[in-house]
Amino acid sequence: MRAAGRIVAAVLSDLEPMVQAGVSTRDLDRAAERMIRDAGGVPTFKGYNGFPASICASINEEVVHGIPGNRKLNEGDIIGIDCGVTYHGFVGDAAVTIPVGKISEDVQRLIDATKASLYAAIEQCRPGNRLGDVGNAVEAFVAPKGYTVVRNYCGHGVGRAMHEDPQVPNYGSPGKGARLRPGWVIAIEPMVNLGNYDVRVMSDGWTVVTSDGLPSAHFEHTVAVTEDGPQVLTALDIHAAAP
Protein backbone atom coordinates (compact mmCIF):
# COMPACT_ATOMS: atom_id res chain seq x y z
CA MET A 1 0.00 0.00 0.00
CA ARG A 2 2.95 2.32 0.57
CA ALA A 3 4.07 1.66 -2.99
CA ALA A 4 0.59 2.40 -4.37
CA GLY A 5 0.43 5.51 -2.23
CA ARG A 6 3.78 6.80 -3.44
CA ILE A 7 2.62 6.51 -7.05
CA VAL A 8 -0.48 8.55 -6.20
CA ALA A 9 1.68 11.15 -4.46
CA ALA A 10 4.07 11.38 -7.39
CA VAL A 11 1.22 11.77 -9.89
CA LEU A 12 -0.43 14.56 -7.91
CA SER A 13 2.92 16.28 -7.41
CA ASP A 14 3.69 16.14 -11.14
CA LEU A 15 0.21 17.32 -12.13
CA GLU A 16 0.35 20.43 -9.94
CA PRO A 17 2.65 22.50 -12.22
CA MET A 18 0.46 21.51 -15.18
CA VAL A 19 -2.53 23.25 -13.60
CA GLN A 20 -2.51 26.48 -15.61
CA ALA A 21 -5.01 28.58 -17.51
CA GLY A 22 -5.76 27.07 -20.92
CA VAL A 23 -5.08 23.47 -19.90
CA SER A 24 -8.03 21.10 -20.25
CA THR A 25 -9.07 18.59 -17.62
CA ARG A 26 -8.65 15.90 -20.28
CA ASP A 27 -5.01 16.95 -20.66
CA LEU A 28 -4.53 16.37 -16.94
CA ASP A 29 -6.30 13.03 -17.08
CA ARG A 30 -4.19 11.74 -19.97
CA ALA A 31 -1.00 12.79 -18.21
CA ALA A 32 -2.11 11.09 -15.01
CA GLU A 33 -2.92 7.80 -16.73
CA ARG A 34 0.41 7.80 -18.51
CA MET A 35 2.30 8.38 -15.26
CA ILE A 36 0.33 5.72 -13.40
CA ARG A 37 0.91 3.06 -16.04
CA ASP A 38 4.58 4.01 -16.48
CA ALA A 39 5.00 3.38 -12.75
CA GLY A 40 3.48 -0.09 -13.07
CA GLY A 41 0.12 0.83 -11.60
CA VAL A 42 -3.45 0.74 -12.81
CA PRO A 43 -5.82 3.75 -12.61
CA THR A 44 -8.29 2.60 -9.95
CA PHE A 45 -11.00 5.04 -10.99
CA LYS A 46 -11.09 4.12 -14.67
CA GLY A 47 -14.07 1.88 -15.23
CA TYR A 48 -15.13 1.98 -11.57
CA ASN A 49 -18.93 1.73 -11.80
CA GLY A 50 -18.53 3.05 -15.33
CA PHE A 51 -16.41 6.11 -14.49
CA PRO A 52 -14.63 7.01 -17.75
CA ALA A 53 -11.38 8.58 -16.56
CA SER A 54 -8.27 8.04 -14.44
CA ILE A 55 -8.74 11.08 -12.20
CA CYS A 56 -11.65 13.11 -10.93
CA ALA A 57 -11.29 16.78 -11.85
CA SER A 58 -13.68 19.08 -10.00
CA ILE A 59 -13.65 22.83 -10.69
CA ASN A 60 -14.86 25.62 -8.39
CA GLU A 61 -18.36 24.67 -7.15
CA GLU A 62 -17.80 21.03 -8.18
CA VAL A 63 -17.18 19.16 -4.94
CA VAL A 64 -16.07 15.72 -6.15
CA HIS A 65 -16.32 13.23 -9.03
CA GLY A 66 -15.93 15.73 -11.86
CA ILE A 67 -15.38 13.97 -15.20
CA PRO A 68 -12.37 15.21 -17.20
CA GLY A 69 -13.22 16.59 -20.63
CA ASN A 70 -12.72 19.51 -22.97
CA ARG A 71 -13.28 22.20 -20.34
CA LYS A 72 -10.24 24.42 -19.99
CA LEU A 73 -9.03 25.99 -16.79
CA ASN A 74 -9.27 29.74 -16.36
CA GLU A 75 -7.24 32.12 -14.21
CA GLY A 76 -8.87 32.31 -10.79
CA ASP A 77 -10.38 28.79 -10.88
CA ILE A 78 -9.61 26.11 -8.36
CA ILE A 79 -9.49 22.43 -9.26
CA GLY A 80 -9.78 19.40 -7.01
CA ILE A 81 -7.85 16.43 -8.42
CA ASP A 82 -8.61 13.02 -6.92
CA CYS A 83 -6.39 10.10 -7.91
CA GLY A 84 -6.49 6.39 -7.15
CA VAL A 85 -3.86 3.79 -8.05
CA THR A 86 -3.95 0.01 -7.77
CA TYR A 87 -0.52 -1.56 -7.47
CA HIS A 88 -0.04 -5.30 -6.99
CA GLY A 89 -3.63 -5.57 -5.83
CA PHE A 90 -3.60 -2.74 -3.27
CA VAL A 91 -5.05 0.75 -3.55
CA GLY A 92 -3.80 4.25 -2.73
CA ASP A 93 -6.21 7.19 -2.86
CA ALA A 94 -5.57 10.91 -2.40
CA ALA A 95 -6.80 14.32 -3.51
CA VAL A 96 -5.60 17.93 -3.59
CA THR A 97 -7.17 21.25 -4.48
CA ILE A 98 -4.97 23.50 -6.59
CA PRO A 99 -5.43 27.17 -7.53
CA VAL A 100 -5.20 28.21 -11.16
CA GLY A 101 -3.00 31.29 -11.07
CA LYS A 102 -4.10 34.02 -8.69
CA ILE A 103 -7.31 33.30 -6.77
CA SER A 104 -9.37 35.33 -4.33
CA GLU A 105 -8.26 35.55 -0.71
CA ASP A 106 -11.55 34.04 0.45
CA VAL A 107 -11.05 30.93 -1.67
CA GLN A 108 -7.38 30.62 -0.70
CA ARG A 109 -8.40 30.66 2.96
CA LEU A 110 -10.94 27.92 2.21
CA ILE A 111 -8.23 25.77 0.60
CA ASP A 112 -5.82 26.36 3.48
CA ALA A 113 -8.44 25.51 6.10
CA THR A 114 -9.51 22.35 4.30
CA LYS A 115 -5.95 21.10 4.02
CA ALA A 116 -5.24 21.89 7.66
CA SER A 117 -8.42 20.08 8.74
CA LEU A 118 -7.16 16.94 6.99
CA TYR A 119 -3.99 16.97 9.07
CA ALA A 120 -6.00 17.63 12.23
CA ALA A 121 -7.98 14.48 11.44
CA ILE A 122 -4.85 12.48 10.61
CA GLU A 123 -3.47 13.35 14.04
CA GLN A 124 -6.45 11.50 15.57
CA CYS A 125 -5.59 8.25 13.74
CA ARG A 126 -4.11 6.50 16.74
CA PRO A 127 -5.01 3.15 18.31
CA GLY A 128 -7.77 3.54 20.88
CA ASN A 129 -9.25 6.68 19.35
CA ARG A 130 -12.61 6.43 17.62
CA LEU A 131 -13.96 7.36 14.23
CA GLY A 132 -15.93 10.15 15.85
CA ASP A 133 -12.64 11.72 16.92
CA VAL A 134 -11.44 11.74 13.31
CA GLY A 135 -14.58 13.29 11.87
CA ASN A 136 -14.97 15.78 14.67
CA ALA A 137 -11.42 17.03 14.07
CA VAL A 138 -12.39 18.15 10.56
CA GLU A 139 -15.59 19.97 11.46
CA ALA A 140 -14.18 21.44 14.67
CA PHE A 141 -11.39 23.03 12.64
CA VAL A 142 -13.42 24.51 9.78
CA ALA A 143 -16.78 25.37 11.38
CA PRO A 144 -15.45 28.26 13.53
CA LYS A 145 -14.12 29.81 10.32
CA GLY A 146 -17.63 29.82 8.83
CA TYR A 147 -17.21 26.82 6.51
CA THR A 148 -19.39 23.73 6.26
CA VAL A 149 -18.53 20.06 5.69
CA VAL A 150 -20.36 17.99 3.10
CA ARG A 151 -22.50 15.33 4.74
CA ASN A 152 -23.60 13.28 1.74
CA TYR A 153 -20.09 12.01 0.99
CA CYS A 154 -17.30 10.84 3.25
CA GLY A 155 -14.00 9.01 3.57
CA HIS A 156 -13.68 5.24 3.69
CA GLY A 157 -11.55 2.24 4.39
CA VAL A 158 -8.95 1.34 1.76
CA GLY A 159 -7.22 -1.93 0.99
CA ARG A 160 -7.60 -4.36 -1.87
CA ALA A 161 -10.66 -2.32 -2.89
CA MET A 162 -10.95 1.44 -3.10
CA HIS A 163 -14.06 1.62 -0.94
CA GLU A 164 -14.08 -0.61 2.11
CA ASP A 165 -15.56 -0.35 5.58
CA PRO A 166 -15.67 1.76 7.62
CA GLN A 167 -17.18 4.98 6.36
CA VAL A 168 -15.26 8.01 7.66
CA PRO A 169 -17.51 11.10 7.89
CA ASN A 170 -16.06 14.60 8.22
CA TYR A 171 -18.11 15.26 11.33
CA GLY A 172 -18.92 13.30 14.46
CA SER A 173 -18.89 13.17 18.23
CA PRO A 174 -15.60 12.66 20.07
CA GLY A 175 -15.42 9.29 21.76
CA LYS A 176 -18.11 7.79 19.54
CA GLY A 177 -17.95 5.26 16.72
CA ALA A 178 -15.71 2.30 16.01
CA ARG A 179 -12.40 2.15 17.85
CA LEU A 180 -9.32 2.51 15.65
CA ARG A 181 -6.98 -0.47 15.62
CA PRO A 182 -3.38 -0.93 14.44
CA GLY A 183 -3.38 -2.10 10.84
CA TRP A 184 -6.46 -0.14 9.81
CA VAL A 185 -6.01 1.93 6.67
CA ILE A 186 -8.53 4.68 5.95
CA ALA A 187 -8.92 7.46 3.41
CA ILE A 188 -9.74 10.73 5.14
CA GLU A 189 -11.11 13.32 2.73
CA PRO A 190 -12.51 16.62 3.97
CA MET A 191 -14.91 18.22 1.49
CA VAL A 192 -15.46 21.75 2.76
CA ASN A 193 -17.78 24.37 1.29
CA LEU A 194 -17.56 28.14 1.35
CA GLY A 195 -21.37 28.26 1.66
CA ASN A 196 -23.85 25.72 2.98
CA TYR A 197 -23.25 21.98 2.96
CA ASP A 198 -26.07 21.02 0.58
CA VAL A 199 -24.98 19.39 -2.67
CA ARG A 200 -26.57 17.85 -5.74
CA VAL A 201 -25.49 15.51 -8.52
CA MET A 202 -25.36 16.83 -12.09
CA SER A 203 -27.07 15.18 -15.05
CA ASP A 204 -23.92 13.21 -15.91
CA GLY A 205 -24.66 11.09 -12.86
CA TRP A 206 -21.24 11.75 -11.32
CA THR A 207 -20.32 15.38 -10.77
CA VAL A 208 -21.32 16.63 -7.31
CA VAL A 209 -21.78 20.40 -7.01
CA THR A 210 -22.67 22.78 -4.19
CA SER A 211 -26.35 23.69 -4.21
CA ASP A 212 -25.57 27.39 -3.80
CA GLY A 213 -22.88 27.51 -6.49
CA LEU A 214 -20.14 28.59 -4.08
CA PRO A 215 -16.67 27.00 -4.19
CA SER A 216 -15.69 23.79 -2.45
CA ALA A 217 -12.26 22.41 -1.55
CA HIS A 218 -11.23 18.76 -1.22
CA PHE A 219 -8.13 17.12 0.23
CA GLU A 220 -7.50 13.44 0.91
CA HIS A 221 -4.81 11.08 2.19
CA THR A 222 -4.66 7.35 2.71
CA VAL A 223 -3.57 6.85 6.32
CA ALA A 224 -2.41 3.77 8.21
CA VAL A 225 -3.13 3.44 11.92
CA THR A 226 -0.02 2.06 13.65
CA GLU A 227 1.25 1.65 17.19
CA ASP A 228 3.72 4.42 16.40
CA GLY A 229 1.01 6.81 15.27
CA PRO A 230 -0.51 7.66 11.89
CA GLN A 231 1.44 7.06 8.71
CA VAL A 232 0.41 8.95 5.58
CA LEU A 233 0.78 6.44 2.77
CA THR A 234 -0.05 8.87 -0.05
CA ALA A 235 2.88 11.19 0.56
CA LEU A 236 6.27 11.03 -1.11
CA ASP A 237 7.60 10.83 2.45
CA ILE A 238 5.38 8.44 4.43
CA HIS A 239 6.32 10.25 7.63
CA ALA A 240 5.17 13.58 6.21
CA ALA A 241 3.97 15.97 8.86
CA ALA A 242 1.39 18.70 8.58
CA PRO A 243 2.66 21.64 6.49
pLDDT tens for 150-206 read 999 999 999 999 999 999 999 999 999 999 999 999 999 999 999 999 999 999 999
Model pLDDT, residue 238: 45
Q: Which fold has domain 2-232?
A: Creatine Amidinohydrolase (3.90.230)
Residues with Cβ < 8 Å from 34, sequence gap 6 or more?
none
What number of other Cβ atoms are within 10 A of residue 58's Cβ?
Answer: 29
Beta strands in 35-147 (DSSP E): 42-43, 55-59, 62-64, 78-87, 90-99
- Binning pLDDT at 50, 70 and 90, where does residue 114 land? very high
Tell me the percentage of the chain whose pLDDT exceeds 90: 97
Number of helical H runs and strand E runs in the chain: 4, 15
- Binning pLDDT at 50, 70 and 90, where does residue 241 land? very low
